[in-house]
Amino acid sequence: MLQNMEERQPSRENTLDNTVRVETFSDGVYAIVATLLVLELRVPVLSVINSTEFLHALRDLVPEFIAFAVSFFTVGIYWVNHHYFFHGVQKSDWKLLWSNNHHLFWIATIPFTTQIVGKYHTLKWAVGIYGFDMALAALSIMMMIHYVFFHSKLMYPGFPEERKRSEFRRGMRGVYLYFIASALAFINVYIALAIFIIVPLMYVIPGLLNDHSEINL
Amino acid sequence: MLQNMEERQPSRENTLDNTVRVETFSDGVYAIVATLLVLELRVPVLSVINSTEFLHALRDLVPEFIAFAVSFFTVGIYWVNHHYFFHGVQKSDWKLLWSNNHHLFWIATIPFTTQIVGKYHTLKWAVGIYGFDMALAALSIMMMIHYVFFHSKLMYPGFPEERKRSEFRRGMRGVYLYFIASALAFINVYIALAIFIIVPLMYVIPGLLNDHSEINL
Amino acid sequence: MLQNMEERQPSRENTLDNTVRVETFSDGVYAIVATLLVLELRVPVLSVINSTEFLHALRDLVPEFIAFAVSFFTVGIYWVNHHYFFHGVQKSDWKLLWSNNHHLFWIATIPFTTQIVGKYHTLKWAVGIYGFDMALAALSIMMMIHYVFFHSKLMYPGFPEERKRSEFRRGMRGVYLYFIASALAFINVYIALAIFIIVPLMYVIPGLLNDHSEINL
Amino acid sequence: MLQNMEERQPSRENTLDNTVRVETFSDGVYAIVATLLVLELRVPVLSVINSTEFLHALRDLVPEFIAFAVSFFTVGIYWVNHHYFFHGVQKSDWKLLWSNNHHLFWIATIPFTTQIVGKYHTLKWAVGIYGFDMALAALSIMMMIHYVFFHSKLMYPGFPEERKRSEFRRGMRGVYLYFIASALAFINVYIALAIFIIVPLMYVIPGLLNDHSEINL
């Protein structure tokens, strides 16, 4: 706001001098996706209204509830990583905006694939597609990070090169893991499902227990 | 923005220097949850279109409308408390982000449990589950507050220790109340339902009437 | 951010030193309500897929499309007024937050009443309820404005008293108009419907045509 | 915030001194529309649960998935252009707010027209209406830009006049293109559908490949 006009002139050829709006827009998409997931949990219509019928109907919702919870916390991981990443980004440009839109596209499909795996968790294709969506969401955020870290001048100056490389390597592990889980679904769906449940737990729990909040993913 | 890079370096091991984005993301989730609640109010399909039929159909929606209104204002209480709490928080860290995500998870389930209690308010399990969800939403926000107040250095300096203890004790009363209401549902659903309706009234009305806006919950 | 801790201490007994979050939360609710309205426009399921059938099905949606458009721009009016109002507000307090939540409650019910009037625009009760909802949305925003203008110290200093009174009087005209339209629905639904359509046009069009953007509502 | 009260006084007759809230509100609408699109992708209900049935059901969703993806990235284009445009805007006024609301109205209808074209992509009217909606979304953003560029003093001073004219001409090409695509739907739906798919690709891909991020639309 204090910069002179030479710098402030918006231009498709150069950079935007902050990242406020891309963060607001992304927060909106993450918040909506996380919250929409619960819309799939439809209250059962009971033929006879009593506790036995009601509990039976709820029991049938258990797989969908688990799918909702797993996707909610997995979207939470993407949001936390997005937040940490953008904390180091000073400016945005056209490629960053579109790399981010690409990532948000795969985030936006999560309610659909969550619904699929919630309903048909015994079908290898349903489980495989869910894992593939998660892998693409992870890959697309890493593509954005790769561009900003290694092919742009959008970071705050002084961010150590070694740190960029180690963060990038760490992030890529999640991508590999989801592609592998997606492939494993065609061998045994329960192994893939276990991975989907374990990843967020493995990611979140240790950081909450130790004092240094190291992240292992 | 004016700080030098030593301080600004985002790091999973240390703190983020503001709470803007965690507040934006939370506002998004609260706003969506509050607004989604009304989606459950489905316009009745009338076999004969006349005022008598229409009013009968609306009358059948009364329990769902009450459930919507109660949940809307209860979500409002969580938002107001979240707002007041974060007003005293200077920085965020990984544990704060995840404590907050945990709280938002229970907030995100409110449209589901509201729908349940709106449809089956005579079933003890439906009413009990609604109260349990509310208790978990309250407990999870208190867990976040407990961490930030007593196990972190994220508050603005100078916040009095006595004040933290009294605010925490006051907040825990709501947690106990919802757990008790949830248990009472199995004795008599109407006592539990009365508590759900009275809590927001008790919380909001006195503050609007007196000039000092004391909060009693 | 530059104020010292004495001022910054959040307290339920005193004021919050800005209005950022109440505006973000409100923007979220307004944006969601405006956008959810279109969810009611369900694509017709055609028994035979051809242009004639398709156009017939679309024609049946015309009343719902009009209801959607009218509610969208009416919500737009509330948002614009909310924006102009908060532009003059420096601080928030507990009563402002809850007056605002009360207003947002009536805003959140608009998708429901819009759906009612879109489906049953020939029923006096449906039209009356829509007008009543609009009147309560208008009344609740005026209650908030009344509190802030005349019973608080939350405005930027120097806002002229005469200006407050004239703005308040002007705003109350909308409240009366919607209560009257709501009552007129029981005499003739088409008069009430005409008012709902004319109000946004009357509010928006003249301001776009003349250069001084005077608002007549 | 540092300006004195003479300048800050909100007034319907003069300008608001920033564009924060109109951007937040717009980001909300864009984020919701982009994310709601996926709600139309309903998980198929299978009579027999096996992979063959599941893949058949998914195959039937392909046109809707393509419609979702195309609309997502087209909404992304509007958001990116809106972001770049507002980056050069210093202040807002009543006409800007309403020009923006008008634009958001056509954005808000995109989930409806996307659903139509996803379900009935062989019907010329369905495809024509989709193109017409896109054309109106493009036209309405250009109307806002026209007002701000040529009939207001809302831009940061120093924005070159020649640049305004060239940006405006470039933007109008998209408007013409969508009106033409909409008309072509009545000759051959596949030509129109191809244009809807090619436009976002043509807009996004070249910018990602070259280093100067020139935009060709």
Retrieve residue D187's tokens.
């000759």
Structure confidence at residue D9 (pLDDT): 41
Cross-chain Cβ contact A9/D69 below 8 Å: no
Q: For residue D142, is pLDDT > 90?
A: yes
Cα A81 to Cα D129: distance, rounded to the nearest angstrom? 40
Residue B172's CB is within 10 A of a number of other CB atoms, namely 15
Inspect the interface and report whether the beta carbons of D25 and C27 lie closer than 8 Å: yes
Question: Are C13 and B73 an interchain contact pair (Cβ–Cβ within 8 Å)?
Answer: no
The helix/strand/coil state of C49 is: coil
Residues from chain B contacting residue C106 (CB–CB below 8 Å)? none
pLDDT at B176: 95
Shortest CA distance to D195 belongs to which of D171, D173, D166? Answer: D173
C-alpha span between B142 and B168 (Å, rounded): 7
Per-residue pLDDT averaged across C87-105, rounded?
A: 94
DSSP-assigned beta bridge partners for residue B155: B89
Average pLDDT (C85-111) is 94
- Measured over the CA atoms of residue C119, residue C123, residue C126 and residue C131, the dihedral's sign is positive
Q: At what angle do helices C94-108 and C51-87 cross, to 10 degrees?
A: 170
Q: Is the pLDDT of residue C62 over 70?
A: yes
The rounded average pLDDT for each run of 10 residues, N- to C-terminus, in chain B (217 residues) is 37 70 93 89 83 91 93 95 93 94 96 93 95 97 96 90 92 94 96 94 80 43
Nearest to C121 by CA among C26, C27, C200, C185: C185
CA neighbours closer than 13 Å in the CB half-sphere of residue C148: 32
Q: Which residues of D are less than 8 Å from A93 in CB distance?
A: 213
Nearest CA in chain C to D23: C27
Cα–Cα–Cα angle for C121, C124, C126, rounded to 5 degrees: 55
Q: Residues C115, B43: contact at Cβ < 8 Å?
A: yes
pTM, whole model, 2 decimals? 0.90
HSE toward the beta carbon, residue C2, CA cutoff 13 A: 3
State the complex-level ipTM.
0.89
Q: Point out the least confidently predicted range of A41-55, A187-201, C149-163.
A: A41-55
Residue C84 to residue A133: CA distance in whole angstroms: 43
Q: Which residues of D touch A111 (CB under 8 A)?
A: 38-39
Structure tokens at A23: 């963060």
Q: Can you give the pLDDT at residue A15? A: 78
Chains linked to B by 3 or more Cβ pairs within 8 Å: A, C
Cα dihedral D181, D185, D188, D193, rounded to 10, equals 60
* Complete DSSP assignment for C103-164: HHHHHHTHHHHHHHHHH-TT-HHHHHHHHHHHHHHHHHHHHHHHHHHHH-S-BPTT--HHHH
Task: Answer whether A55 sits within 8 Å of B125, measured CB to CB.
Answer: yes
Closest CA to C111 of C41, C58, C194: C41
- Residues of chain D in contact with residue C36, where contact means CB-CB under 8 angstroms, are 32
Burial of C46 (0-12, 13-18, 19+ CB in 10 A): middle
pLDDT of residue B205: 84
Q: Minimal CA–CA distance to B188: which of B143, B145, B124, B111?
A: B124
The residue among D216 and C125 whose pLDDT is bigger is: C125
d(CA B103, CA B70): 19
Of A31, A157, A204, the CB nearest to B29: A31
User: Nearest Cα to C178, choosing from C159, C157, C193?
Assistant: C193
**Exposure string over A88-98, b if 16+ CB within 10 A, otherwise e:** bbbbbbbbbbb
Q: Output the six-digit token pair for B145.
A: 């507050």
Under DSSP, is residue B165 helix (H, G, I), strand (E, B) or coil? helix
Structure tokens of C134?
Answer: 């609009």
User: Which residues, including other chains, have CB under 8 Å from residue B191's CB and lie 6 or more apart?
Assistant: B181, B184, B185
Lowest-pLDDT choice from B5-9, B194-198, C123-127, C159-163: B5-9
Q: Are D142 and D119 a contacting pair, CB within 8 Å?
A: no
Calculate what percentage of chain A has a pLDDT beyond 70: 90
C-beta separation of A31 from C25 below 8 A:
no
C130 vs C171: CA distance, rounded Å? 19
In contact, B79 and C92? CB cutoff 8 Å: no
**Cα–Cα dist D19/A18, whole Å:** 15
At which residue do the structure tokens 């770049």 appear? D84
The two tokens of residue B182 are 């949830």
Check: CB of residue A61 under 8 Å from CB of residue B112: no
Average pLDDT over residues D66-77: 95
Query: Do the Cβ atoms of A208 and B36 come within 8 Å?
Result: no
d(CA C93, CA D113) in angstroms, rounded, equals 43
Q: Work out the pLDDT band at D38, boundaries 50, 70, 90.
A: confident
Instruction: Tell me the three state secondary structure of residue B89.
Output: strand
Q: B35: distance to nearest CA of chain A, Å?
A: 11
What pLDDT does D99 receive? 95
CA B79 to chain centre: 6
Query: What is the residue-averaged pLDDT of chain A?
Result: 87
Structure tokens at D97: 């707010």
Q: Which two tokens stand for residue B12?
A: 């999973």
C23: nearest CA partner in chain B: B27
**pLDDT score for B144:** 96
Among the residue ranges C30-44, C125-139, D21-35, the one predicted with the least confidence is: C30-44
Name the band, by pLDDT with cuts 50, 70 and 90, for residue C4: very low
* Nearest of A48, A40, A36 to residue B120 by alpha carbon: A48
- What single letter denotes the amino acid at residue D136? L
Q: What is the pLDDT of residue A192?
A: 96
Least confident of B7-16, C48-57, C64-73, C103-112: B7-16
* Residue-level pLDDT at D68: 94
User: How distant is the Cα of D22 from the closest Cα of chain C, in angstroms?
Assistant: 9
Give me the pLDDT at residue A110, please: 96
pLDDT, position C47: 84
Sorting pLDDT into bands at 50, 70 and 90, what band is C144?
very high
d(Cα A101, Cα C110) in Å, to the nearest integer?
Answer: 31
Tokens of D78: 């509007």
CB D178 within 8 A of CB D142: no
Comparing C-alpha atoms, which of A156, A159, A167 is closest to residue A214? A167
DSSP C63-103: HHHHHHHHHHHHHHHHHHHHHHHHHTB--B-HHHHHHHHHH
Continuous segment of H or E residues that includes residue C177: helix C161-184
CA distance, residue D11 to nearest chain C CA (Å)? 7
With beta carbons less than 8 A apart as the criterion, state whether A29 and A108 touch: yes
Residue B62 in tokens: 């009364």
Q: Show Cβ contacts of residue B124 under 8 Å, excluding neighbours closer than 6 positions.
A: A51, B185, B186, B189
Q: What token pair was written down for D110?
A: 């995109």
Instruction: Give the helix/strand (H/E) hosting D169.
Output: helix D161-184
Alpha carbon of A145: minimum distance to chain B alpha carbons (Å): 14
Looking up tokens 């699109």 gives D37
A123: chain D residues, CB-CB within 8 Å: 49-51, 54
Which residues on chain C place their C-beta less than 8 Å from a C-beta of chain D? 23-24, 27-28, 30-32, 34-39, 41, 43, 46, 49-51, 54-55, 58, 69, 72-73, 76, 79-80, 83-88, 156-159, 204, 207-208, 212-215
pLDDT at D209: 75
Calculate mean pLDDT across residues A71-88: 94
Report helix, strand or coil for C16. strand
Residues of D in contact with A33 (CB under 8 A): 35
Burial of D1 (0-12, 13-18, 19+ CB in 10 A): exposed
**Torsions phi, psi of B92, nearest 5?**
-125, 160
Confidence band, pLDDT 50/70/90 cuts, at residue C48: confident
What percentage of chain D has pLDDT greater than the value 90? 71
Helix, strand or coil, per DSSP, at residue A92: strand
A125 contacts on D by Cβ (under 8 Å): 51, 54-55, 58
| φ and ψ of C12, to 5 deg | -70, -15
DSSP string for residues in B164-211: HHHHHHHHHHHHHHHHHHHHHTTT-HHHHHHHHHHHHHHHHHHHHHSS
The span from the CA of A95 to the CA of A81, in Å, is 19
- Give B40 to chain C, closest Cα distance, Å: 9
Q: D14 vs A150, A161, C214, D11, D96, CA distance in Å? A: 46, 49, 10, 5, 12
- Chain C residues within 8 Å of chain B (Cβ atoms): 5-6, 8-10, 12-13, 16, 21-22, 24-25, 28-29, 32-33, 36, 39, 93-95, 97-98, 101, 104-105, 108-109, 111-112, 115-116, 119-120, 122-126
Q: Nearest Cα to B116, choosing from A116, A184, A43?
A: A43
Contact C125 B85 (CB under 8 A): no
**B208: its two tokens:** 């609007």
Q: What is the pLDDT of residue C10?
A: 43
Q: In chain B, which residues have their Cβ closer than 8 Å to the Cβ of C151?
A: none
pLDDT of residue A158: 85
Q: What is the pLDDT of residue A26?
A: 95
Distance CA A216, CA A207 (A): 8
